[in-house]
Amino acid sequence: MPASQPRSRARDRNNVLNRAEFLSLNQPLKGNQESRSSSRKQSGQAGAASAQNTNPKERRQSQQLPEEDCMQLNPSFKGIAFNSLLAIDICMSKRLGVCANRASSWGGARSMINLLGITGHGIPWIAGTLICLVKSSTLAGQEVLMNLLLALLLDIMIVAGLQKLAKRKGPYDINPGLLDYLTMDTYAFPAGHASRVAMLSKFFLNHLVLAIPLRILLVLWALCVGLSRVMIGRHHITDVLSGFVFGYLQFRLVELIWMSSNTCQMLISIW
């Protein structure tokens, strides 16, 4: 018997399952269980107390995720179509921006394209209209020039207001020039040059007697100015197209509020 006891003790020592790490798997200690259960109870009581202290509004706000963190799993057909058209517009506008910088494929023609864009800028047109108005001696000419000046001023205000609302940036990171800052043409949508040339070409076609070649050249000039704004990377294609639409609507507005010759003479005398 005394000899068998050391043997059994040695067997127990050599048995792997009798080690502390394996015993904890099969027979967890009571102290560990009690400590875990007490910690769970304390955490549950603390959570219940905090939930009672919080307001229902705060609970709802904590449950609601921010809108930008939510993934829309079932987008609408309109959303898919709009995003697809927007992606096509950005891609095509970047491809047509061949004069966006000096390193572009047509970078050498950037100065000439900028000069073409200046022909549709508001400041030269307002200055030229004022000079012609001072030198004009006929009532019909003064009437047309005064309404043209009104159309130019309305174009600047309407486009500046729409751009401030949309705040869309161009396809390339190009800073506006000094003349653009003067006319508040700092954003991309809608294109101010496109709206202005569309309004001017429609105005001249309606109120000036022009030969057919000149009428064709006037329309081509408006299209080239709109294209030049995409080529230098200042506007997207949709910005230019929307500018043409807004320019036509501005022309229709000026036709509705057309100032008569007597009104024009009164304004000129005040000035």
Active-site residues, by number, are 193, 235
Distance CA 99, CA 110 (A): 5
As a whole number of angstroms, the distance between CA 142 and CA 136 comes to 6
